[in-house]
Structures are given as C-alpha cells and as structure tokens.
Amino acid sequence: MAGVGMPTVKLPIAGGCQCGALRYEIAAPPLMIYACHCSNCQKQSGGAFVLSATVMEPSFRFTDGAPAKIEWTSDAGNQRYGLFCGDCGSRIANGQTPSIGVLSVRAGTFDDTSWLRPAGHIWIKSAQPWIEFGADDILCDVQPTEYGPFIKRFNDKVLFIEG
Ligand SMILES: [Zn+2]
Ligand SMILES: [Zn+2]
C-alpha cells in the first residue's frame, strides 16, 4: 500500500559508470532492491555491502559503451558474471550462467539514488559488525530461498510511473 511520502520514480531508470563511458537504462520497475553483505560484494565494491536492484534481464540495456566481463563462483555456489566498465572499473551488473532471467544491477550506479532503500539484508552472517539493522528489516543469514517478502516490502515503499 502506498504510504505518505512514498517516492515516485520515473521509468526508465538511467545510470552509468563513474567515468561515463558506460550508460544504461532499465525500462521496467525493479522487482526489489536489497543489501547484500556477502564477501564477494564487499571485495567488488570496497564497501560494507552492495545495494542490489533485481531487474528483469530484457528490461536492461546499455545505451553507451560496451562492458567488460568477469566470472566467478558465488558464496552460494552459483556461476556468476559481472559487467563492468573497462576504463574506470565500476561494476554495473551481475548475472548468472545459465540465465535465471534477472540481473542484479548496482543501485549505487543509478543517476538518482535519492529514493533507494533496501527491502532487506542478505548474507548478514558476513556483515561488518558496526552495521545496525532496523527492527522490522528482513534479515537473512545467507542467500534467501524465498524472495516474496523482499518483493512485497519493496513494492509497498516505492511507486514507479512511465516517464
Ligand atoms: Zn567508466
Ligand atoms: Zn553479495
């Protein structure tokens, strides 16, 4: 349900890398946005966690530049790949092989980050000790098996409209 002061976000969502060589658009609303505290996200970002937007793969496209690619095995044992800028190194999105139909886009690369808020936190078993979670945050020790609560909470707190 829409709350008071609920952010309204215009589609498509636009974003890009630090140097601007890579630009992208997301045409459809993300399914959810969550914070991942896994060790790979900490290494890739150099930060405490990554804000990840789960988007339908066909809704995402690069509008400028061509990404470089790296592959690895995730903490959950999946074959993952990352798309990043070969010039500045910004990670833009992660996907899985074989495809699971969605990409994890680094929400910190959105042009407008003012409306971002994670629906929940995953891999909190490797979260840095100073992080304090909210009393009503959805928390998962490792990779969730069920994302329904994340999707519902995310959609309760943001409204997407066609730009
Ligand atoms: Zn770049
Ligand atoms: Zn992660």
- DSSP for 35-53 reads EE--HHHHHHHSSS-EEEE
Q: Is the pLDDT of residue 3 over 60?
A: no
Q: Is the pLDDT of residue 1 over 70?
A: no
**Looking at the CA of 125, which ligand is closest?**
2
- The residue-averaged pLDDT of 139-155 equals 94
The boundaries of the domain holding residue 87 are: 9-162
Q: Is residue 3 part of a domain?
A: no
Q: Is residue 1 part of a domain?
A: no
Q: Is residue 129 part of a domain?
A: yes
Distance, CA 159 to ligand 2 centroid (Å)?
Answer: 26
Q: Is residue 2 part of a domain?
A: no
Q: Is residue 14 part of a domain?
A: yes
Q: Is residue 88 part of a domain?
A: yes
Residue with the bigger pLDDT between 76 and 18: it is 18
Distance, CA 138 to ligand 2 centroid (Å)?
Answer: 16
pTM metric for this prediction:
0.92
Helix (H) or strand (E) holding 122: strand 120-122
Q: 90-124, pLDDT tens digit by residue?
A: 999 999 999 999 999 999 999 999 999 999 999 99
Distance, CA 139 to ligand 2 centroid (Å)?
Answer: 14
* pLDDT value for 5: 73
- The residue-averaged pLDDT of 21-46 equals 95
Percent of the chain beyond pLDDT 90?
Answer: 87
**Looking at the CA of 124, which ligand is closest?**
2
Q: Which two tokens stand for residue 22?
A: 């890579």
Distance, CA 4 to ligand 2 centroid (Å)?
Answer: 31
- How high is the mean pLDDT of the chain? 94
- DSSP for 77-97 reads S-EEEEEE-TTT--EEEEEES
* pLDDT value for 90: 95
CATH number at residue 13: 3.90.1590.10
Give me the number of domains the chain comprises: 1
